[in-house]
Amino acid sequence: MADVSAADVAALRKATGAGMMDCKTALTENGGDLDAAKDWLRTKGLAGAAKRAGREAQEGAVGVLVQGGVGAVVELTAETDFVAKNSDFTAAVDGLAGLAVEAGTAELAELAYEGRTVTEHVTALAARLGEHVVLGRVIVFETVDGVLEGYQHRQNDRGTIGVLVELGGVGSDEARARSVAHDVALHVASAAPRYVTRDDVPADAIARERAVLEELTRNEGKPEQAVPKIVEGRLNKTFLKETVLVEQPFVKDPKQTVGQVVSGLGPDAAVRRFARVKVGED
């Protein structure tokens, strides 16, 4: 059996618009040969998507749904804004978000949806709309004892940014906790943090940023003995505040950080995790 890499699967998926599992099967069945795998997918009824291979899908829509302790963000990409705000397209992405919540999984490709698999549904949608349509990122959160909220930023008649936020240790006032969680999700959509806390920032990312700041500071002619202190100050005031969620000024009240807003729910309240998907961005 061929050793199929994730990169090969991703490349085939981008070229054909087929589902991830179909791409993996195609490569496995054809010894890892990309061209042969493309042909194999055509024989399985994906010729329409394959003919549009290579055309970028930078537009699209994002669906968000939170229900019963499960939340999902689903991205569906297209080539043009015109198709991305088509009612069939937006209905599909909302329906797939509902399917992800119902199934409790991000692995949608082979799940049944409206009488066919999700992959088949997306392929048929692409054929009907005449564009390269691809199921993009799918993120599913499930919470047992936390508060889960979502936010969808809408632009030009469809969702363009989808966010999920989970808070933990929020105490008994669930209504207030949900309100704060929703506001934090709105903040994430706007401020685009990358990490929850500074402990989540990879050491190599901090090391790279520190090296850049050291060179910048020296190029500004600062005294060598002052460089370490200046660099640490900049690292904390710029890089970490820009990338760490709980240290960012809260969009609704910049005098407070997001962490301070959440801590108002109780001594154990904290952001457990978040996810942000913006159409066209990795």
Model pLDDT for residues 132-190, shown as the tens digit of each residue: 899 999 999 999 899 999 999 998 889 999 999 999 998 767 889 999 999 999 999 99
The CATH 1.10.286.20 domain(s) of the chain lie at 198-263
CATH architecture of the domain covering 198-263: Orthogonal Bundle (1.10)
Task: List Cβ neighbours of 81 (8 Å cut-off, separation of 6 or more).
Answer: 59, 156
| One-letter amino acid for residue 151 of the chain | Y
The CATH 1.10.8.10 domain(s) of the chain lie at 6-51
Residue 65, pLDDT score: 97
CATH architecture of the domain covering 59-191+266-278: 2-Layer Sandwich (3.30)
* Helix 20-29 / helix 34-41 crossing angle, nearest 10 deg: 120
**CA 247/CA 129 separation, integer angstroms:** 44
| pLDDT tens digits, one per residue of 219-272 | 788 889 888 899 888 888 888 888 999 999 999 999 999 999 999 999 999 999
Residue 199, pLDDT score: 93
**CA 50/CA 22 separation, integer angstroms:** 13
- Residues 97, 100, 101, 102, CA torsion sign: positive
The CATH 3.30.479.20 domain(s) of the chain lie at 59-191+266-278
Superfamily name and number for 6-51: Ubiquitin-associated (UBA) domain (1.10.8.10)
Residue, of 24 and 140, whose pLDDT is higher: 140
| One-letter amino acid for residue 236 of the chain | N
| pLDDT tens digits, one per residue of 195-233 | 999 999 999 888 888 887 887 788 788 889 888 899 888
Least Cα distance to 272 among 67, 65, 71, 138 occurs for 71
Task: Compute the 3-state secondary structure of the chain and give helix, strand, coil in percent, each to the nearest 5.
Answer: 50, 25, 25
**CA 61/CA 77 separation, integer angstroms:** 6
At 118, is the pLDDT very low, low, confident or very high (cuts 50, 70, 90)? Answer: very high
